[in-house]
Structure 1
Amino acid sequence: MSTDQRVLLCDVCQKRHLSKSAEEYCPQCEEALCRECRDHHKLSKLLKSHQTITVDKYNKLPSFIKQISQNCQEHDCFLEFYCKSHDALCCKLCLISGHKKCKETIFIEDFLKPLTGHQSAALDNIETVLQDLKNNICSAIKDRNRNMTEIRDQKRVIGEQIKEKRKDINTLLDHLEEDILQKVSTLEKTNCREIEEIVTKLEDEKEKVDGIQKEVESVKLFASNLQIFMGTKAFQGSISTNEINVQQIYDNGSLNNVTMKCTFNEKLEGFIKHIKTFGDVEIDNSEKHVSFSWKGDISAQIFKPKSVAKSIETINVRLGHRINITRESISGCAISESGHMLFLQAHRNSMMKYAPNGEFISESRINLKAGRIGYDLAVIDSNTVAVSSGKTYPQHIYLIDMGSTNTSQVLQLGDYCCGLSYSNDSFICCTYHNGIKIYDRSHSNVRILPNSPNAVDHTYVASNANRIFHTNWRDDSVVCYDFSGQAVGWNFITVYYVFRLGSKTTSFRNFR
C-alpha cells in the first residue's frame, strides 16, 4: 500500500479481492480499514487496544512519518523499546535475544508524557527550538529593517551636514561635494542591498521553520507513539540545519549593525586652496543591536548514543584531510570559529588563511613595520587571532582582525614569546626567560605559572577554561596544570606517535 496516496482502500478487503474505501488507519497493524473491518478490529481481543485514526488525519501526517514501520522485520513483533547503546528500535524478542546486557534501553511509552495525547518531551523541545528559530529570525528581520531606516536617516543627516558646511566655502568645492555625496549614496545602496539579501535569506529560513511547525503540529495530533518517536529524530536533523544556517548568518557578521558617519577634512576651516577632499564616509559594522535566544536544546535528545571515554591505547589516528601549504618552517597553526585554518611561517611576518576544504584564501603580513616576527597563533574570538613574535624583536603579541588582516592591538610583553594560547580572557605564553607567563587581556595583571619549567623557549602550550597543557621537547613530556600551577592527573608520556608539522617534528607518547 502506498503511504502517500490520498484515497486508501481497505487492506483487509483487498486480501479477499474486494475493493472498499478505507475510513480509518491502524498504525500498529499498518493497515487501512473500511467501516466493517474497523468494527471487527475493535472487537478483536488482541487488537482492541490499538488506537486507530481516520484516513483524513492519516493523510495529514508527513510522508516520512507514514513510512515508519511499526513492526520488527526479524520477529514481526511490535517495536516497543529503544536501545541507546546500539541506537536501534527493539521488540520484546530483540530485547531478550540481543540486548540483555544493554543498560541504556527505554520503553517507548515511557518516553511520552502521560495524559498529553501523542506528545513527547523531545517533541516539546522541537517546538521550543522551532519557536526560538522563528523568534530569532523575526528579530533579525526587524533589526535589519531598522538598520536600513537608520542608514537612510544617517544619509539624510550627513547630507544636511554637508550642505551646512557647504555654505562656508566657495563654488570651487562644488565638485568635491558631489564626490562625497556620491560616495554616501553608493555606500548606502551597497549596504542596504546587502542587508536586503540577508533579510531574504532570513525570510527563507522562516518559511522553512513555518513548514516544519505545521508538520510538527500534524504529528502531535495524528501520529502514533512510535511515529512521534522516530519523527522526532528526523525533525532534529531538519531543525539543526535551519539552526546552523541562522546561527551562521549571526556569526559571519551579517547582523552586525552598519552605520555611516562623515568626517570633514581638517583643512576645511583653513586655506581653501589646500583642500583636496570634501571629507570621508566610514562604515562601522562591528556592533550588533540584536541577540539570539535559544531556550530549546536541540542537541539534548535521547537519540544521541551515550559517549564512552576511550583510553589512549584504543585511539586510532587517521588522515582526515591534507592541506598543501607549499611553505617551509610552519611554526603555528589554528582553526577559527568559522572553520578557517590559519598558518604561520616561523619569523616570516606572514599569516596564511585557508578555507575548511583546504583552498587557499589569502596571505597577509602580520605587521608592516615589524621584521622577522611570528611563531604561534591563538584564536581570541570569531574576528580576532593573536600572534606571538617568537625570539625576535619587538617582544610583542599582535592582535589581528581576521577579516581585514589589520593589526587591531599590540601588547608589549618585555620578553620573547613562542608558544601561545588564550583562555579565561588571558594569554598563556611560553617565554624565554620567565617560564610560562599569564597576561590578562588588559595587561594589568601578569603572573608566572608556578611549577612550570624555567626554560620553555620553542615549546607550545594549549589551554581550556580549567587546564593548561604544556609540551616540552627537552624531556619529551606533556604536563597538565591547573591555573594555580599544580600538575593535574598526568605529567609524562613515552614516545609512541610522531607527527610532522612543516619541518618541525613533535613526538607524542603513551601516558604512564
Structure 2
Amino acid sequence: MATIDIASFCDFCQNKDINKSAEEYCPQCEEALCRECTDNHKISKLSKMHHTISVEKYRKLPSFIKQIKHNCEVHDCFLEFYCKSHEFLCCKLCLISGHKECKETIFVEDFLTPSSGHQSVALGYIEKVLTDIGINISSALKDRNRNLMELREQKQVISEYIKEKRKEINTLLDHLEEELQENASTLEKTNCRKIEEIITKLEDEKEKVDRIQKDVETVNMFASNLQIFMGTKAFQESISTIEMNVQQVYDNGSLNNVTMKCTFNEKLEEFIKHIKTFGDVEIDNCEKHVSFSWQSHKSAQIFKPTSVAKSIENINVRLGRRININREGISGCAISEAGNMLFLQARSNRLMKYSPNGELISESCIDPEASGIGYDLAVIDSNTVAVSSGGNPPQQIYLIDMNSTKTSQVFQLGDWCCGLSYNNNSFICCTFRNGIKIFDRSHSNLTNVRILPNAPDKVNYTYVTSNENRIFHSNWNDDSVVCYDFSGQVQWKYCDLLLRKPYGITLDSNSNIYVAGSYSNNIVVISPDGKQAKELIGASAGMSSPRALFFHKTKHVLLVATNNEVAFMYDVI
C-alpha cells in the first residue's frame, strides 16, 4: 500500500522486488501503479470500474484527504455507506452486522453529482459558505479602512477647529489647548489601533479562507468521491470556526462605526478665570455602516437535512386530531420529539401532558411552593422545555424535562415574564414594565441582561418567538406583529384587519410566521419579510379564540390551543 506522500514506485512491481516509477494512483485500491500495471488495472474485472488519478495530482491533495481510507479495516470491503446515527462509514458487511436498526444510513454516491465527475453537492455548499465569508470579510475590511481614514480626517478637522477657536481667546489658554489636543490624539490613536487590530484579524481570517478555497479547488478536481465526502466534514469544521470568528467580530461591536466629535465649553467667551476646560473630544461608537450577507444556508450541510422554502400561498393545513383538554385558559403548548403534547394553563401552576393520540398522560405541578404561576412554554432542546412564571411571584423561568415533566433547573429573573422564546443561548422575555428583555444563559443565573431597543415598554401578556437572526413579537395591544433584529432595529411591522388581538406566535423551518388571532378567530401565516399574509385557518373551519401555538419543524405539524378547552393538531402541507 502506498503511503500518504510517497507513491513514487509502483506497489505491484515492488511486491515482485521491481522498482518502477508510479504514474497513476488508485484511491479505491490505495495503490500506486506504473503504466503497465495501470493498463492491467483498467481491464481487470475487479478494478476496471476504479477511477485512477495521476501521481502528480494525488500529491496535490490535502494530507487529511489522502489519509481517508476506502476499505473497511474489519471486513476489507469498500466503504460505501454512512450511518448518520453513529457518524460512521460502513461497508456492506458492517451495515448488516452492526447497523441493521439504524434508520439513517445513506449511500455515499447519493450525495455526489453523477454528471460532473468529482464535483459534489457538499463541496458546492462549502464553496458558497466560503464565498460568503470572503465577501463579508472584504466588506468589513473595506469598511474598517474607510472608518480609519474617516477618523484621521475628522481628527484633522477637529484640530483646525480647535486652533481657530484658540485664536479667539487669550494666550493664557495654551495649556488647555495642548491638553485637549492630547486628548484627541490619544482617543484617535487608541481607536485606530483597535480598528487596525480588527483589520489584522480579518486579514488573517481571509488568508485562511483563501487557503481552504485552494484546497477545495484541488479536492474538487482530484479527490475521489469518498475523499470528497469525508473531506467535506473536515472543511466544514474549519470554515465553521472561521465563520464563527468573523460573525463574532460583527456581533461584539468591533465593526461599530467609530467617530470623534469635539464640543466646547459654553463659558468659553467668559472671563478666563471662569474657564476650566477648553472642550472635550469623545468617541461616538454608533451603528455599523456594514452588514453581513449569508446567501448560503448556514446549516445546509451534507450531514443535515435541508428544507426548501415555499410561498405562503402554497402553505395549507389538514386537520389531524382534535384534543379535548377540558381546561380553559391554555396559554402555552409544545410537542416533544416523542410526539407527546404539553399544555400550560395560565396562572394555574399546572402542566399537562398528552399522548400523540390525544389521551391525558399526566398533570404535574411546576413549583410546589408557588401558586398562580405559568404563562408560556419555550422548547430548549429535544428533552427540555422552559416555563415562564407570568405575572405572579416568584419571578422565575423553570426548565422542565419533557419526558418526566419534572423541574430540572430554575433561573431567577428579577422581572415578570410572560411570552417566552429561546435562541442563541438566550431567553427572550416579554416583561411587564421593561419591554422585551434578553437574558444571556451563558452567564451565571442570567446576570447578563439587556432590554431590546425600540420595543414597547409594556408588553405584558404578549408573545414572542425567534430564530438565529430575528425576534418576532405579537402585540394584542395594537393588533400588530413586529420583527426586530437582535440589536433592536425594527425590520418590519404587520397590521391588518385580517388579524385582531394576536397572541400565540411560532415559526416554521423557513421562518414563516404563524400567529393566533384571538378576536379574529383565525390563524394567520406571514411571510418572513412581512410583506405577505393569508388566513390559514379561519372561523369557517371551526377556529374560535385561538391562544397558544407551536410548530414542530421536523414533524411539520402545527399545534393550536384555544380558550375553549380544545386544541387542534394540523399537518402542514
**What is the TM-score of this pair, normalised by structure 1?**
0.68
Residues 310-349 of structure 1 mapped to structure 2, 5 A cutoff: 310-312=338-340, 316-317=383-384, 331-332=416-417, 339=425
CA distance in structure 2 between the partners assigned to 1:362 and 1:216 by the alignment: 40
**CA 1:103–1:150 in structure 2 vs 1: closer, same or farther (change >3 Å)?**
closer
| Paired residues of 2:111 and 2:302 also in contact (CA < 8 A) | no
Letter of the structure 2 residue corresponding to residue 311 of structure 1: G
CA distance in structure 2 between the partners assigned to 1:25 and 1:446 by the alignment: 66
Which residue of structure 1 aligns with residue 513 of structure 2?
466
SS in 2 for 1:262: strand
Which residue of structure 1 aligns with residue 184 of structure 2?
184
| Paired residues of 1:330 and 1:343 also in contact (CA < 8 A) | no
Letter of the structure 1 residue corresponding to residue 444 of structure 2: G
CA distance in structure 1 between the partners assigned to 2:44 and 2:100 by the alignment: 32
**CA 1:480–1:202 in structure 2 vs 1: closer, same or farther (change >3 Å)?**
farther
CA distance in structure 1 between the partners assigned to 2:107 and 2:239 by the alignment: 24
Letter of the structure 2 residue corresponding to residue 112 of structure 1: T
Q: Deviations over 1:381-425 (max 9, x none)?
A: xxx624xxxxxxxxxxxx5xxxxxxxxx79676xx9477758898
- Structure 1 residue 134: Cα displacement: 1.8
Residues 89-238 of structure 1 mapped to structure 2, 5 A cutoff: 89=89, 91=91, 105-106=106-107, 108=109, 111-114=112-115, 116-238=116-238
- Structure 2 residue 451 is the aligned partner of structure 1 residue 385: yes
Which residue of structure 1 aligns with residue 259 of structure 2?
259
CA distance in structure 1 between the partners assigned to 2:232 and 2:283 by the alignment: 44
| Paired residues of 1:25 and 1:55 also in contact (CA < 8 A) | yes
- Structure 2 residue 560 is the aligned partner of structure 1 residue 490: yes
Name which of structure 1's ranges 150-159 and 120-129 shifts more when overlaid on structure 2. Answer: 120-129
CA distance in structure 2 between the partners assigned to 1:444 and 1:110 by the alignment: 41
CA distance in structure 2 between the partners assigned to 1:174 and 1:462 by the alignment: 63
Name which of structure 1's ranges 28-37 and 148-157 shifts more when overlaid on structure 2. Answer: 28-37
* Count of matched residue pairs: 436
* Structure 2 counterpart of 1:356, from 434, 442, 455: 442
Higher-strand-fraction structure = 2
Letter of the structure 1 residue corresponding to residue 67 of structure 2: Q
Name which of structure 1's ranges 151-160 and 125-134 shifts more when overlaid on structure 2. Answer: 125-134
**CA 1:302–1:5 in structure 2 vs 1: closer, same or farther (change >3 Å)?**
closer
CA distance in structure 1 between the partners assigned to 2:235 and 2:460 by the alignment: 49
CA distance in structure 1 between the partners assigned to 2:187 and 2:545 by the alignment: 55
**CA 1:198–1:469 in structure 2 vs 1: closer, same or farther (change >3 Å)?**
farther
| Paired residues of 1:262 and 1:282 also in contact (CA < 8 A) | yes
SS in 2 for 1:277: coil
SS in 2 for 1:292: coil
SS in 2 for 1:136: helix
| Paired residues of 1:439 and 1:446 also in contact (CA < 8 A) | no
- Structure 1 residue 268: Cα displacement: 2.1
| Paired residues of 2:25 and 2:31 also in contact (CA < 8 A) | yes
SS in 2 for 1:268: coil
CA distance in structure 1 between the partners assigned to 2:9 and 2:443 by the alignment: 51
- Structure 1 residue 275: Cα displacement: 2.7
| Paired residues of 1:331 and 1:346 also in contact (CA < 8 A) | yes
CA distance in structure 2 between the partners assigned to 1:32 and 1:246 by the alignment: 41
CA distance in structure 2 between the partners assigned to 1:284 and 1:208 by the alignment: 32
Q: Unpaired segments of 5 or more residues in structure 1?
A: 364-383, 387-398, 400-408, 453-459, 471-478, 494-510
Q: Deviations over 1:275-312 (max 9, x none)?
A: 32222222122222223233333421331158995413
| Paired residues of 1:253 and 1:286 also in contact (CA < 8 A) | no
Residues 407-446 of structure 1 mapped to structure 2, 5 A cutoff: 417=460, 421=464
**CA 1:174–1:143 in structure 2 vs 1: closer, same or farther (change >3 Å)?**
same
Name which of structure 1's ranges 19-28 and 277-286 shifts more when overlaid on structure 2. Answer: 19-28
**CA 1:78–1:25 in structure 2 vs 1: closer, same or farther (change >3 Å)?**
same
CA distance in structure 2 between the partners assigned to 1:101 and 1:427 by the alignment: 40
Which residue of structure 1 aligns with residue 29 of structure 2?
29
- Structure 1 residue 141: Cα displacement: 1.6
SS in 2 for 1:287: strand
- Structure 1 residue 270: Cα displacement: 4.3
Which residue of structure 1 aligns with residue 320 of structure 2?
none
Q: Deviations over 1:137-174 (max 9, x none)?
A: 12212221221111111000000001111111112322
Which residue of structure 2 aligns with residue 406 of structure 1?
none
**CA 1:215–1:306 in structure 2 vs 1: closer, same or farther (change >3 Å)?**
closer
Letter of the structure 1 residue corresponding to residue 109 of structure 2: I
| Paired residues of 1:420 and 1:461 also in contact (CA < 8 A) | yes
- Structure 1 residue 49: Cα displacement: 2.5
CA distance in structure 2 between the partners assigned to 1:65 and 1:410 by the alignment: 50
CA distance in structure 1 between the partners assigned to 2:130 and 2:15 by the alignment: 43
CA distance in structure 2 between the partners assigned to 1:425 and 1:298 by the alignment: 18
Which residue of structure 1 aligns with residue 248 of structure 2?
248
**CA 1:232–1:492 in structure 2 vs 1: closer, same or farther (change >3 Å)?**
same
- Structure 1 residue 66: Cα displacement: 1.2
SS in 2 for 1:491: strand
| Paired residues of 2:480 and 2:494 also in contact (CA < 8 A) | no
CA distance in structure 2 between the partners assigned to 1:211 and 1:180 by the alignment: 46
Letter of the structure 1 residue corresponding to residue 54 of structure 2: T
CA distance in structure 2 between the partners assigned to 1:309 and 1:164 by the alignment: 71
| Paired residues of 2:11 and 2:33 also in contact (CA < 8 A) | yes
SS in 2 for 1:145: helix
| Paired residues of 2:2 and 2:30 also in contact (CA < 8 A) | no
**CA 1:261–1:330 in structure 2 vs 1: closer, same or farther (change >3 Å)?**
closer
Letter of the structure 2 residue corresponding to residue 233 of structure 1: K
Letter of the structure 2 residue corresponding to residue 358 of structure 1: S
SS in 2 for 1:267: coil
CA distance in structure 1 between the partners assigned to 2:293 and 2:413 by the alignment: 45
| Paired residues of 1:126 and 1:298 also in contact (CA < 8 A) | no
SS in 2 for 1:302: coil
Q: Deviations over 1:468-508 (max 9, x none)?
A: 699xxxxxxxx997699951643279xxxxxxxxxxxxxxx
Letter of the structure 1 residue corresponding to residue 71 of structure 2: N
| Paired residues of 1:109 and 1:225 also in contact (CA < 8 A) | no
Letter of the structure 1 residue corresponding to residue 339 of structure 2: S
- Structure 1 residue 80: Cα displacement: 3.8
Q: Percent identity?
A: 53
Q: Deviations over 1:43-78 (max 9, x none)?
A: 323322222112222121112211222234555433
- Structure 1 residue 218: Cα displacement: 1.3
Q: Unpaired segments of 5 or more residues in structure 2?
A: 308-335, 341-354, 357-381, 385-399, 402-406, 483-489, 526-534, 536-543, 550-558, 564-568
